[in-house]
Amino acid sequence: MKKITLLFLMLFSIISLGQVTITPNPFEVDQSITITVDINSSATNCNSISNPSKVYLHSGIGDDNDPWGFNVVGNWGQDDGVGEMTNNGNGTWSITFVPETYYSLSAA
């Protein structure tokens, strides 16, 4: 339960910034979600990126003792396809996955 709560809080904090959306919202950990980022938004640090050929999601979860210490998905700086997002053609990029599977979560 702690992992699920932390995942929710992490994703909620991202949603509140405005340049990232998660659908559906709210969602269940065993439900397919889509995360979309608007790289042209003035509310993001991405707006200096011009026509990237690839965008990756590097994310993770943890627990109360180590909020960012484990279940990280993505290899920082590596062009290996892990977390690769889809170009939607309108300045947004998205990725769809089931959090329970993507982060290798198990019932606590």
Full-model pTM: 0.73
Cis peptide before 67 (omega within 30 of 0): no
* Helix, strand, coil distribution of the chain in percent, nearest 5: 20, 25, 55
Query: Do 61 and 3 meet the contact criterion of CB atoms below 8 Å apart?
Result: yes
29-80: per-residue pLDDT in tens?
A: 899 999 999 887 766 666 566 778 898 998 888 778 887 767 888 888 888 9
74-102: per-residue pLDDT in tens?
A: 888 888 999 999 999 998 999 999 999 99
